[in-house]
Amino acid sequence: MKKFIGYVLLMTMVIVVLPLIIVRGCSTVAEELIPLDDNQPPPEEIEEKDEVLYDEVLYLDVYIANKDKIKKMPLEEYLIGVVAAEMAVDFEIEALKAQAVAARTYAYGRMKKIYANTNADAHNGADVCTDSGHCQAWIDKADALKKWGEKNGEKNWDKIKRAVSETKDIIISYEKKVINPLYHANSGGATENSENVWEGVEVPYLKSVKSEGEDACSNYEVITTFKEEDFISAFKSELPDLQIDSENIIDQIEILNRTDSERVDKIKVGDVTLKGTDFRRILDLRSTNFSIEEGETGEINITTIGHGHGVGMSQWGANHLAKDGKNFKEIIKYYYKGVTLDNIQNIEKNIENF
């Protein structure tokens, strides 16, 4: 009898415990994407599947900029902090889900080194950082609860968790490749073609679309006033040879042309012609959809519409679509043209790297 019991215990160790030890000891993050054979069919749409197939936990290294430290965390946990920081918690749940999918796709593309970081030092060697000017914003739970207050904190956090969990493992691809899912706060009524912001970078899924309902934002239209001397100083600090008369400055500024989405494409300041994106950067404007008027004596008024670069998904536009009854899949496919929603498992197995 003792021998029989010993035999049963031994077999239990071999069949159950040993495999668990092996699995837990293996890396849960694939080293690279496996190219898809040209003869294989493209990945199926995620909405055609009822079950989530990917059970492994993906980890990424996050450089927390305000604490100057790198933290390894599960991708899905990281995304809760991103959505909490990037989108207003009172937005519709389907808009929050769309944000979660875009944020997951963005992070996954950097984890897999599909999209090169233009400034690797900003990450201190991590996959992403928490600087919203460079990557995606992120906030930890304690700071989020403090921001929302004791009354609504936990309820809000649970809402964000729901948006992430109900889109678990879903990312966006275009022609079997993970996309670069750019997004912004408010397009001002129409999103922008990528090549109009980053010259020469034409991306088929980052094309201009109308984006209604964004004027619901309280900061949809903002007037920023500059003293004339501050205006000149800002441009001379970057363009020291700029020739501009300190008198009648407004007469020496001319918007030369606009894009189809009404953003300034080219503008002349003094004797220099600039891209609208450079003009915005130098003056730290909210968008390139702007107009210029003479203010009070010695001042220039610049009125901006919308907020952000305008490429990809508009967060305020996504919320409007959600209020209009659209689900997160429809929102994603509206702002990113011709894309497919897929599961990370399919991507890991089938998608082409590039």
pLDDT in tens, the chain (354 residues): 444 444 444 444 433 333 333 232 222 222 222 222 333 334 344 443 333 444 578 999 999 998 999 999 999 999 999 999 999 999 999 999 999 999 999 999 999 988 866 555 668 889 999 998 889 999 999 999 999 998 999 999 999 999 999 999 999 999 989 999 999 999 999 999 999 999 888 999 999 999 999 999 999 999 999 999 999 999 999 999 999 998 889 999 999 999 999 999 999 999 999 999 999 999 999 999 999 999 999 999 999 999 999 999 999 999 999 999 999 999 999 999 999 999 998 888 764 444
228/13 Cα distance (integer angstroms): 79
Burial class of 284 by CB neighbour count within 10 A (0 to 12, 13 to 18, 19+): exposed
Give the number of residues written for the chain: 354
Q: Which long-range contacts (CB under 8 A, 24 or more apart) does 141-144 make?
A: 141/80, 141/81, 144/81, 144/84, 144/85
The DSSP code for 239 is -
333/344 Cα distance (integer angstroms): 18
Asked if 347 and 171 count as a contact pair (C-beta separation under 8 A), the reply is yes
The DSSP code for 66 is G
Quick one: pLDDT at residue 176? 87
202/194 Cα distance (integer angstroms): 6
Amino acid letter, 196: N
* Angle, CA 219 vertex, CA 217 and CA 225 arms, to 5°: 165
Token pair listed for 137: 């914003």
Quick one: pLDDT at residue 214? 97
The DSSP code for 253 is E
CA dihedral of 151, 154, 157, 158, whole degrees rounded to 10: -120
Asked if 308 and 133 count as a contact pair (C-beta separation under 8 A), the reply is no
How many other C-beta atoms lie within 10 A of the C-beta of residue 327? 14
Quick one: pLDDT at residue 338? 97
Token pair listed for 30: 């694939």
